[in-house]
Structure formats: C-alpha cells, structure tokens
Amino acid sequence: MAENYVIMQAFEWYLENDGNYYKWLKEEVQKLSENGIDALWLPPLCKATNTDDIGYGIYDLGDFDQKGDIRTKYGTVDELKAAIEALHGNDIKVYADIIMNHKAGADFTEEMTAIEVDENDRNHEVSEPHTIESWTGFNFPARNGKYSDFEWNHHHFSGVDFDQKEGKTAIFKIIGENKHWADGVSDEKGNYDYLMFADIDYKHPDVHDELLKWGSWLVDYIQIDGMRFDALKHIQDAFIVDFIKYVEETSDRHIYFFGEYWVYDKNKENSYLYQTKYHTDLFDVALHYHLAEASTNAANYDMRKVFDNTLVQEHPGIAVTFVDNHDSQPGQSLESFVQTLV
C-alpha cells in the first residue's frame, strides 16, 4: 500500500437481513470521512445461498432473481454502486471481500467418481473410488449469460462434502484427469485444500481463466479499489499470483490486495509470502491474538512482548494490523474477541 490507510471493516456477522445496508452506508459516508476513515472493507457483494447468508456461501455474480430475491443480504448491485460512488466522492477507497475458494447453492446434482478421505488427514483415503452424487452443477438460469456465460460442473471442482445418493456427509476427493488436492496450500490436515461446499479446482484452465475475468469485472463494473482475499491458506498460492498480476495488468488504476492467511506461525506466514512473491499484504493474525491475550490477562501480560513474532515486526510494509473482525467476534469459529478494559 502506498499510504498508511485506516481501513474499517464495515460489517459484522449479525447484520439485519433487510436489504438496507448499502442505503445506510451511503447515508453514513460524510460521517465516515469526518472520522478519518480512508478505506472500507465491504462484505461479500455477490449472490449467496439465500438473502440471510452473510456472503461466504457464494453462488453467483448478483442482481438476478435467484435464491429467493434479486438483492443480497445487503441490497442490490445498483444500490452498491451508488454507495461506492458516494464513498469515492468523499475520498474513501472501497475494498471488496473476495470469495474464491468454493461455490455453494448449486442448481443441480451430478454423478462423479470420488474417494472419501479422512477429515483429519486429507491425504489418507478411506474408500475405493466410487460413484457419488453431489451439488456441483451451476447453470445460473436467471443470469441468462449476463456478465459471463460460463457454467460450472464437477470437472471444475476438486472436492465436495456430501453424497446425495447415500445421504452421507464426508469429505470426498473428486477423481478425474489431473485431479488431486492443490499444491501451495496449508499442510494442516495433511492438505487443507478442501474447506467447504464445492471446492474450486484452479488447475482446470477454464476455471483459471474465468476467475481472472471475474476479477477484472469487479474492478471495471463495480468500481472497487481493492480486494480482501478470504481463506488464502486453502487456495493454490500460484493462482493468487496469477490473479493479482492479471487484475493489475488489465486495470488502468492501482488496485490494493490484502488477505486472510489465518495462522499463528511466522514461519508458515513467511513461507506463504515468499511463495506468492510478496504480491499481497496479509492480516497480522499473531498481533490480534496478542491483543486478545492482553485484554483477558491484563494484570499479568507483558506489553513489551506484544509485537513478538508478529507480521508487523517481520514485514511492517505488508502487515495489515487489526483488533477484531467478523471471524473473531463472539459465537464464530475463530472467536478470540479483544475485551474492553474498564
């Protein structure tokens, strides 16, 4: 980042599902500017499994009558673009939450050959190859080719977590030509390529090209200024490099990239930064955990150690420091909320 911006996460997990978020945001623009906010991190802007989905169950590009409504939880694309225009008018940058690990809410099931794997060691196969039926067909009937005519099927995914045929929930690795878990992902659980829903296969050339075009669409049509990558440790690192380079090369303005690589280990973080050629900034997860520990053990915490093994200590130029976010708030999977001291 060229400047030391104050980025505000402009959403949390439990916002009302009333479709008024973008309208509210437009009304708050001047107040945000007056309070020194330089950039906003907005929630996922695409259509998800339903309007109550915060956006991480990503389905389609948005503004089509599907999954129960035209709008997302936050409003319509036109309302989003109006809010972004108002933010830009007050010199506030807009960073979109980008979900590229998986797709959800498929339009139909398909049969495919798969192998069940151990949930705690994805490299350990626990079944023979067999036919399963899963939700991997995306033809987006309401889109009718607008923005993109690409349709997804099981060849475009590497894994799923449900066999409709047997009614069984497990992790299944899809079998086929050049099909295997991705390289360049976290080695947790043996290989942490698979996270949830239908896991995208970046080795497939058509998938690779479609997602690069989607990145440019976000910049050109929605007019975002940057991207926050979700779930980076589950996505092939080489693809992230390709994606960033493509968006940069096809944009006529500077686009800022930062992401969530949720580890509390500076060696793994350093390795990821090296593999991605330092193309993306990262959240400082270690600093967040230090702040959380300090807030719950204030009487005994040694503040001289708050920066030990943090990203801001190792790589201050690419560290995005934060206190809390939607994942660390109470009730969420990574709950580690920084307490208020009184």
**pLDDT of the residue at 176:** 94
* Residue 262 forms part of a structural domain: yes
Do residues 313 and 224 share a domain? yes
Among 141, 181, 189, residue whose Cα is nearest residue 159: 181
Q: Does one domain contain both 234 and 289?
A: yes
Is residue 112 assigned to a domain?
A: yes
Residues with Cβ within 8 Å of residue 222, at least 6 apart in sequence:
45, 77, 80, 81, 84, 96
In the chain, which residues have pLDDT < 50? 1-2
> Is the Cα dihedral 224, 43, 286, 342 positive or negative?
positive
Among the listed residues 172, 139, 179, the one whose alpha carbon sits nearest the alpha carbon of residue 155: 179
Distance CA 56, CA 15 (A): 14
| Active-site residue list | 230, 260
Predicted TM-score (pTM) above 0.75: yes
Helix (H) or strand (E) holding 205: helix 205-217
Tell me the C-alpha distance between 160 and 154, whole Å.
Answer: 9
Name the region of 184 (left: φ>0; alpha: ψ -120 to 50; beta: rest). Answer: left
Please indicate, yes or no, whether residues 155 and 197 belong to a single structural domain of this protein: yes
The pLDDT tens digits for 258-313 are: 999 988 788 888 888 888 888 999 999 999 999 999 999 888 999 999 999 999 99
Count other Cβ atoms within 10 Å, centred on residue 79. Answer: 20
Amino acid making up residue 324: D
Question: Coil, strand or helix: which one is 66?
Answer: strand
Which residue in this structure is represented by tokens 């999977």? Answer: 333
Query: Do 222 and 305 belong together in one domain?
Result: yes
Whether residue 332 lies inside any domain: the answer is no
For residue 231, give the nearest of 209, 263, 205 by alpha carbon.
263
Report pLDDT for 3. Answer: 67
- On whether the CB atoms of residues 28 and 42 are closer than 8 A, the answer is no
Q: What is the CATH number of the domain that holds 145?
A: 2.40.30.140
Instruction: Count the domains in the chain.
Output: 2
88 and 183 in a single domain? The answer is no
Look at residue 238 and tell me if it is in a domain. Answer: yes
Residue with tokens 């150690």: 305
Question: Which two tokens mark 158?
Answer: 């590497």
DSSP 8-state assignment for residue 36: T
Element (H, E) at 171: strand 168-174
What's the rounded Cα separation, in Å, for the pair 196 and 56? 10
**Looking at the structure, do residues 215 and 316 belong to the same domain, yes or no?**
yes
Residue 305, SS3 per DSSP: helix
Distance (Å, whole) CA 313 – CA 191 = 28
Q: Is residue 70 part of a domain?
A: yes
**Tokens 């398909």 belong to residue:** 110
HSE-CB at 104 with a 13 A cutoff on CA atoms is 19
Q: What is the pLDDT of residue 1?
A: 44
d(CA 160, CA 186): 18
On whether both 66 and 180 belong to a single domain, the answer is no
pLDDT at position 12 is 92
